[in-house]
Amino acid sequence: MSSLLIRLSRGLRETNRFLHTRQRRPDGSMRGGHMKTPQKRGHVSAAGGLPAEAPVKRVSIEGNIAVGKSTFARLLQSTCSDWEVMAEPVSKWQNEPPQTTVSNLLQMMYQDPQRWSYTFQTYSCMSRLRTQLQPPPARLLRSQGTPVQVYERSVYSDRYIFALNMFELGCINSTEWAVYQDWHSFLVEQFGQQVELEGIIYLRAPPQTCLERLERRGRAEEEGVKLDYLEKLHLQHERWLVQKDTEIHFEKLKQIPVLQLDASMEFQRSPEVQEQFIAKVKNFFSEL
């Protein structure tokens, strides 16, 4: 019992730290762990006869480890100035929180998932939340086209893919899972429209393909990742985004449109496939 209380205390201390860490932007607004008061999205009435701000749509890119999300995100960013891609905060996981002798939480989770999975999922979800709370850049608000903020993964895949998978593997125990779900639901409901998505792009590829790409990119923390782990993550994605079998706790997310793209193709090296992807994405965005 004392061991369990210590683990829960650690997780709650981390959560509290993220909620109260504050950094000011040059314009005086808050970023980082500060959680701003929720604001309504959509057209904003402007004073002095200026045109209203464009409603910025929010879409996440979902898919297995090493499926090609970052490559695809760079393709989107270079295609249209109305699209702003928010990178997955991997560097934060590799360097924070500071430890006495070790500071790479991603590596710690892979090396000892039984000990560090709950702590890692707490931190990864908070870092994703920070990303989704970032306001869109001014150029998107001035856009006359279809402005879109695109996120590499989201607070939803953190819960319904990675944290759920760790719970099912036994690396997060039932009490930790209950605590995670409780604060996750609270934060998502608290920030409402600020973290809602209008659509999801699902990059779909066989786990074996993902493993081959993972080995090619050579990220040190992932050296021990095996095919069976990628197969489990693939199954979680299929259950959530294709079969719709995952129990979802947010009504809008249950009805969210999903664009599936066949990421088994080496689209990085094929301009023709890239053009096909972009055409599908443009059509998808226009219908959201």
* Residues 159-169: tens digit of each pLDDT: 999 999 999 99
Burial of 22 (0-12, 13-18, 19+ CB in 10 A): exposed
Known binding residues for ATP: 63-71, 213-217
Catalytic residue selected from 152, 168, 196, 212: 152
Ranges 21-25, 207-211, 227-231, 244-248: which has the least confidence: 21-25
Calculate the average pLDDT of the chain.
Answer: 85
Annotated binding site for substrate: 88, 110, 121, 153, 158, 222
CATH of segment(s) 2-19+58-287: 3.40.50.300
- Residue-wise over 261-278: b if at least 16 C-beta within 10 A, else e? bebebebeeeeebbeebe
Tell me the mean pLDDT in the region 2-8.
46
Active site residue 176: no
What pTM was estimated for this model as a whole? 0.80
The token pair that represents 156 in the structure block: 């939803």
Locate the domains of the chain by residue range: 2-19+58-287
Q: pLDDT band for position 268 (50/70/90)? A: confident
DSSP 65-130: TTSSHHHHHHHHHHH-TTEEEE---HHHHHH-S--SS---HHHHHHH-HHHHHHHHHHHHHHHHHH
CB 131, CB 168: distance < 8 Å: no
Span 42-71, average pLDDT: 74
Query: Tens digits of per-residue pLDDT, 174-221?
Result: 999 999 999 999 999 999 999 999 999 999 999 999 999 999 988 888
Binding-site residue numbers are 63-71, 88, 110, 121, 153, 158, 213-217, 222
pLDDT exceeds cutoff 90 at 18: no
Is the pLDDT score of 51 beyond 60? Answer: no
